[in-house]
Structure formats: structure tokens, C-alpha cells
Chain A
């Protein structure tokens, strides 16, 4: 009896703590949305308000952003770069993972170790030589010049994650195909790829996020407005000298977040599984 009461109390505390944490967690996002819904003139009102006055609610910031053709272009740029990046990374990463995971030898583990070691160096550290490389390859100020660099950044992690899945494919399935006389490519395409598709999906979601929100590199190599991706466009809004229209900034931010949140909510399962697999194994 006493025990049951104890556990009820404990449960109650757990829910309370979680609810409190969740509220604190979401405050910044709610404030962003609430700011995007008020006119610019209300930004310095006194006293400041967390929620805008109901009668002052306005969609004018969204109207403005959505009336700019630039926004659609930036959106399309981000989408194109992200989608091509994840497709290439999935193809290249899964092929690498298949070979490294299924054909073990001294050379392959050496290569894998080498790939993992480079993961220690944060991406932005290499921005100077990579910029020089982009210059030599004539990829500066080219939207699709972003892609090879993004792919190279996500490949080690993608390979690492997919390799774990490849290794877990039961040997019998593989053996059976070898006996049937299938060659390596067939086994990769017909057996390994479909079986590893959950891992590939989860990795692809991560890669999408990486490419969608990438800022330092894109900001360095892209000049033209028409080639800018969303993060640079948002930062550009903000950077204007001495006159920040927060309403526009946050309206654009909300619009940028919508696809990501949708993808996350609908693919939540893959997302969490992928992360968990990496963390538990590592």
C-alpha cells in the first residue's frame, strides 16, 4: 500500500518536472512565433509582452516575406541542395558501408579507422583549405558547388551508421546469394540496400538537416542573392545596419522551420532509432 502511494507520488513528480521542462524548452520558440505575428512598431512597446495583444495580431510580416520572389528562390535553393546532398550521400555512403562492413580485411579496417579519425576535426576548421579548393575547382558562388563539400562532410558519419546495419545482415542471406552465383553489385543492390534502408533513411534525415541549416560555408562561398540558401537569407535580413526588422526575420524563420518540423514529426521513428543505434553502439 505504502509502496503504491510512493510510486504514484514519484510518477506525479516525474510528470510535473517533464511538463515544467517542456514549457521552459518551448518558450523561445513560442516567443519567436509571437514576435513574428506583431507589427514592427510594437517591438519596442513598454512593457514588453510575451504574447502580442490580440487586436494587434497581424500577418503583415508573413505577407511581406511571401510577396518577395527572393524567398521562394532561397527556399528552392535550400531544397535543391539538401535533396541532392542526401541522395548522393546515401548512394556513396551505403556503397562504402557495404564494402567496409561485408568484406573485412586489414586494408578495409584501416580505411574505416582513418575515416573515423577525420570525424574528430570539426568541419569549419578546414574552411580555409576548402575555400582554396573551391576556388581551384571554380565552385565559388555556384549553388551546386556547395554539394560536393556537404557530401564530403556527411559521408564519414553516414558510412559509420550504415556500416553497423550492413554488418547485422544475417550471414545466411548473403551466403545464399553467393551460392546462386550473384556478383557483388547484385548483392549490394538486391539484398544489402533494401535491408539497410531504415538506416539509410535515418541517416538521410540527419544529412537533410545538416544541408538545410548549413551557414558558415554557404555564407563564405555564395555571393549572389539568387543563389543564397535560406540561412544566409535570414542572416542577411538581420545584418542590415542599425535597423533590424525582427518581425520579418522571425516570420522567415518560422517559414523555414516548417518543412523541417514536418519531416521530423513524420519521420520521428527513423530519427530516434538512427540516433539511438549510433549512441548505443559507439
Chain B
């Protein structure tokens, strides 16, 4: 079956993909690592002296790095469970109804397909100090005693980005969890009925174990997404005040393209990729441990 022609054809089919992959993904990763070891800046773009771990030392000694690192971690720790829990909740509700299921699904999915730039601008507009939300909270609901300066402080600025992240992510979680729920064998529920499980018991003992694979998938995908947050921060607070609301990527971008510290930016990127790698492996392990 696999004669010379066929082998060549297989190679031919692989070639375009491999070329793109090696050139635009693998090479940049390798190059990123090498750049992180060089003293690269605007003025030394042509000569790139090897600098050992200088960039890494600088990253770890930088107060702003730790601020943005904590910001990214907090963003991920809040938005990932937030999206998953709400997404799963909506999925469970949808799974239990017969009418309008598609309508609800389509509407709840709209935020996912709204581009980050647009969604961020809408949220910036809603949360601006003189905006509609503050008016509503203060003058209509009387729950606040004045305008909250959402966009102007570290945690409230991040909170807006996080609310946006969750709002935009629920639809995606809803769809994949809905599909997973429909795959849980019906007889397991019937067995649980016979054992006298309540609906919450069934959810805990039948549903959750049944969709474990999907939970892991979502967990890893969303964690990557959490670290990838960029556009919303750039549009909503721009890192203000004084980089307090920057995240790893917006700070990396600033260092690279506004100050020309490419070496620093590369080291930062690499630290981030390693952190994510460890987290992914950790999440995998945790789920596996539960299995046994």
C-alpha cells in the first residue's frame, strides 16, 4: 500500500503544515528563548550580545513584574472558575428544558463572538465614572453613596476586566458542557434514583464525574486564555494607574514596543510560558489523581 509514490504524497500533504508550523511557531519559540538570554534593545538591535541570565534577574527584581504577575494570577483564578460555574449552571438549566433551547443558546453565545475590542469598549463605557452603571447603583438602587471609580484603581479596574472576561466566556462553557451533559448515560441517573439520591446528589455523584474530561479540557483552555488576556486590559484601563492594572502580556508588550527592551520582554514571556506549562501539568495530575 505504501509505495514510493504514496510516501512522497504523504510527505507532500504534511509539508505545508510542517513548514508553517516550524517557521512561524517553533522557530519563534526557540528564538524567544535565545532572545531572553541576550541584551536586546532598540539601540542594540543589530548586535545582540549574549547576556546570560541578566534579563531573568532583571525580571525577578522588578517590582512591576510582581504586580502584573499577581494581576494575571488573580485574573485567572477568578475568571476560570467564574466562567465554568456559570457556564455549567446555564448548561444544566438548558439541559432540563424543552422549548426555546436553541434561542437561549444563540443569545448566550453572542458575547463569545463579539470581538474583544468592541466588548472592551462597551464595558469601558458602561463602567466609566460618570457612566450608566454608577448612576443606576447610586441614584436608582441607592446601594452606593456616590460614583465608584471603577476604572481608576488596581482592583476595581481589574474587576471590570474580569467581569468582561466572565461575561464573554460563559457562552463557550455553556456549549461544551451542554454537549458533555448529553453524553452522560441516562441509566446512571436512573440507578441514582433507585438509590434515593436527590437532584443535588445526582449532580454531585453522577453528572460531575460524568463530565470530568470536559472539565479538564475547559480548565486548561481557560487557564491559557486567562494568561492571554491583553486586549481588554489595553482598552479598558491601558494599565493605568501607573501599570497597576497591567497583566503579564500588556506589561510585556509595553516593555518590548514602548521601551524597546526586547530581551526583558522575551525573558518575561518565557517565565510566563513555563508557569502555564507547570499549571497545565498540575491540573492534569490533579484530575488524574481524583480518577484513581
Would you call B176 and A276 a contact (CB within 8 A)?
yes
Q: How far, in Å, is A145 (CB) from chain B's closest CB?
A: 11
The reply to whether A22 and B104 contact each other, CB–CB distance below 8 Å, is yes
In the assembled complex, how far is the CB of residue A21 from the closest CB belonging to chain B, in whole angstroms? 6
A56 at the A/B interface (Cβ < 8 Å)? no
B137 beta carbon closer than 8 Å to chain A: no
DSSP class of A's interface residues: helix, strand, loop or mixed?
A: helix
Bound: A15/B122 CA distance, A = 28
What's the Cα separation between A245 and B223 when bound, in Å?
35
| A29 to B24 alpha-carbon distance, docked (Å) | 36
When C-beta atoms are compared, the residue in chain B nearest to A185 turns out to be B9
Name B179's closest neighbour in chain A (CB-CB): A276
B-side contacts of A131, CB under 8 Å? 256
B102 neighbours in A (Cβ, 8 Å): 268
Chain A residue at minimum C-beta to C-beta distance from B131: A48
On whether the beta carbons of A28 and B276 are closer than 8 Å, the reply is: no
- Most chain A CB within a 10 A radius of its CB, from B18, B114, B280: B114
Known: A91-B16, A122-B228. A253 touches B96 (CB 8 A): no
A29 to B177: give the CA distance in the assembly, Å: 24
Query: B122 to A184, Cβ gap below 8 A?
Result: no
Q: How far is the CB of A206 from chain B (nearest CB, A)?
A: 10
Is A129 part of the binding interface, using a Cβ–Cβ cutoff of 8 Å? yes
Chain A positions within 8 Å of B214 at CB level: 279-280, 282
Given contacts A18-B104, A275-B175, contact A120 B96 (CB under 8 A): no
Indicate which residue in A122, A133, A188, A213 contacts B115 across the interface (CB closer than 8 Å).
A213
Once the chains are docked, how many angstroms separate the CA of A21 from the CA of B20?
Answer: 42
Expressed in whole angstroms, the Cα–Cα distance for A13 and B128 within the complex equals: 34
How far apart sit A110 and B20, CA to CA, in the bound complex (Å)? 17
Is A72's CB within 8 Å of the partner chain B?
no
Check: A8 CB closer than 8 A to any chain B CB. Answer: no
Query: Nearest chain A CB to B124's CB is how many angstroms away?
Result: 8
| A95 pairs with B14, CB closer than 8 A | yes
A151 to B16, CA, bound (A): 11
Contact A95 B106 (CB under 8 A): no
| 200-241 of chain B: CB within 8 A of chain A | 213-214, 216-218, 220, 224-225, 227-228, 230-231, 234-235
A93-B20 Cα distance, complex, nearest whole Å = 11
B269 within 8 A of partner (CB):
yes
Please provide the chain A residues from 118 to 137 with a CB less than 8 Å away from any CB of chain B in the complex: 118-133
A residues whose Cβ falls under 8 Å from a Cβ of B: 10-11, 14-15, 17-18, 21-22, 25-26, 28-29, 31-32, 35, 44, 47-48, 50, 91-93, 95-96, 98-99, 103, 115, 118-133, 148-149, 151-152, 155-156, 159, 178, 183-185, 188, 209, 212-213, 215-216, 220, 231, 234-235, 238, 246, 249-250, 253, 256-257, 260-261, 264-265, 268, 271-272, 275-282
Give 5 pairs: A residue, B residue, CB < 8 Å, sorted on A. Answer: A18-B97, A25-B170, A152-B25, A260-B115, A275-B176
Known: A257-B114, A282-B217. 16 other contacts (CB 8 A): A92-B17, A95-B13, A95-B17, A96-B14, A98-B13, A128-B35, A128-B269, A129-B31, A183-B5, A184-B9, A209-B113, A250-B121, A257-B115, A275-B172, A275-B175, A276-B178
